[in-house]
Structure 1
Amino acid sequence: MPAESATSLLCPVCRDPLGFSDAAGRSLACPAGHSFDAAKQGYFNFLVGKGTVFEADTADMVAARFDFLSAGHYRPLADAVAERAAGALAGNAARSPGTVLDAGTGTGHYLRALLDRLAHDGIRAGAIGLDISKFALRRAARLNPDAVNVVGDVWQPLPLADHAVDVITVVFAPRNASEFARVLRPGGRLVVVTPRQGHLAEVAGQTGMLGIDPAKDERLAASLEGHFAALSADHLDVPLSLSPDDVARLALMGPAGHHLDRGALASLAAGLPPLTAVSARFRINVFEPRH
């Protein structure tokens, strides 16, 4: 992994700067002597102190998401996020290399699309993928070995220095507005993806997926208002044609996966037609910090 990926990291114990202490990039250490070795899959675990109250995605939820995204169903969304993030980094070319934080990176698919776009455009940037689920980070670290992949809690102080990040991407993940504003540089960008009304409506009810809050956009704006100003908001609709297995994966990979009856979901999928038409409806918001 490139050295610039770690230059903005802070020790989760003492908040001193972290750096690689070996040539292979498998160990991070701070001047106070706290060290963190990469797991065999390549990620670092920064969960220290008391446990988080956030419920991490389970192994089968992560496997469902990995298989669904690997099939390319949400590729138009990944490309749209990459386009906006790459554009922001290109605008900061004078400060190259920049740094990207993918908060709630999950299996790393959206960050992979961004890194590929940056390489295509000739833009140098370090990348950090953060997620609470070690099962997700095992996948992300294999997919994105050119990033630093960290198990961490977005609701705790982020293990990043002040104003160290150029772009933060958040795709269907929690948003810590004050911490995002702290780590973003002036002129940086926060790219947030949320579902819109009607998202997956054709299968959501029968599979037990959670509904979309009608006030979701208003709540997003209110949660960020004190720290961020809105720059743009775009809608993206993606028509899907899903097999029964993909419908089951779609239900299992989201928040409802914590509570769904796996047997009932499999029985429901077995009764579906060979292909089901589903509409994915996204909102892509771009914000800048109010520094």
Structure 2
Amino acid sequence: MTHPGQANDPLPPRVVDALRCSVCGTPVGLADRTLRCAERHSFDVAKQGYVNLLHARIPAGTADTAPMVAARVAFLESGVYQPLAEVLARLAATHAGDGLIVDAGAGTGYYLAHALEAAPKAAGLALDVSAIALRRAARAHERAGAAVWNLWEPWPVADDVASMVLNVFAPRNAAQFHRVLAPGGLLVVATPTAGHLRELGDLVLDVDERKDERLERTLREYFTRTSRIEVTNRVEFSPELIREVVDMGPTAHHLTDDRRARLEALASPVDVTTSFAVSVYRAVTE
């Protein structure tokens, strides 16, 4: 994996080959740090290595902010979520081959980097609506490229190009998962279980106990689940880790003054449950 301070070559060739113009849908090429299509639409690659393919602003509270990204980087560097990353990496090692791993909602690229490290012949495309997060994702691994996009919109990605789609705590667009996956490709979805971070009470958002049922309803038109892996651990969280895990997630958009005061006043470590479900899917065939 590349060090966060290293520059990444802008958009590896296999990523460029997979991308499509977000205006007209035609293939693009990279020249002089600019993506261009035959219709002369162009998108500059930022100095941090990612490309923004969006045409419009996104609603406030949708994308990760700079403080959220900083908290996430610090928290993930602690290794608390390493067991989840290792499960995803093992799946990539056995199923990604020499194909393309698309991480839908990649954030800073933490999980994609682990997957690519385990699949040395694969390339990776990080998609996320937060340009701030993708500044990190573009440098997370030398075989990764990053593009800003709203996952709810049709993706600027070619059909049948991904050997694996990762979706870790992110919006799930089943139709687009299905469209970009190559025949035989794998969809891997990671979600928190109802017990995740339960000891932190109302400092974090509750996880719906029927989340697994909702996941199945969302995907069943296009996918069949072939396996489900639970990753549960008990970890001592320092007060700083607690503040980071709260500030890096959606709770950060909704903290009341009272909750923020309680969060800042924490002085003792807390034993916390981390619990995830990793669901593996194959596309429904006609």
TM-score in terms of structure 2 length = 0.91
Gap regions ≥5 residues in structure 1: 91-96
Q: 1:16 maps to what in 2?
A: 26
Alignment of 1:1-291 (within 5 A): 1=9, 2-22=12-32, 26-48=33-55, 50-53=56-59, 55-90=62-97, 97-119=98-120, 124-205=121-202, 207=203, 209-261=204-256, 264-265=259-260, 267-273=262-268, 275-291=269-285
Q: TM-score, normalized by length of structure 1?
A: 0.89
1:145 shift after superposition: 4.2
- Measure how far apart 1:271 and its partner are: 2.9
Mean alpha-carbon deviation: is it higher for 139-148 or for 29-38?
Answer: 139-148
- The alpha carbon displacement at 1:181 in A equals 0.5
SS in 2 for 1:72: coil
1-side partners of 2:124 and 2:236: how far apart? 33
Tell me which moved more, 153-162 or 135-144. 135-144
1:160 and 1:245 map into 2 onto residues whose CA distance is 39
Distance 1:262 1:45 in 2: 34
Name structure 2 gaps, 5 residues minimum: 1-8
Distance in structure 2 (CA, Å) of the matches to 1:162 and 1:131:
19
Q: Using the alignment, how far apart are the partners of 1:237 and 1:200 within structure 2?
A: 11
RMSD: 1.6
What is the alpha-carbon distance in structure 1 between the residues aligned to residue 257 and residue 176 of structure 2? 36
Structure 1 CA distance, aligned partners of 2:119 and 2:96?
Answer: 9
Percent identity between matched residues is 42
User: How many residues in Structure 1 have an aligned counterpart in Structure 2?
Assistant: 274
SS of equivalent to 1:230: strand
Q: Please state whether the residue corresponding to 1:85 is helix, strand or coil.
A: helix
| Matched AA of 2:233 | V
How much does 1:262 deviate?
7.0
Q: Distance in 1 between matches of 2:143 and 2:44?
A: 17
**Residue deviations 1:195-217, cap 9 Å, x none?**
11111001132x2x110111100
Q: Structure 2 CA distance, aligned partners of 1:192 and 1:147?
A: 19
Q: CA shift at 1:28, angstroms?
A: 1.5
Measured after TM superposition, the shift of residue 239 of structure 1 is: 2.0
1:111-137 deviations in Å (ceiling 9; x for gaps) = 111111123xxxx12210000011111
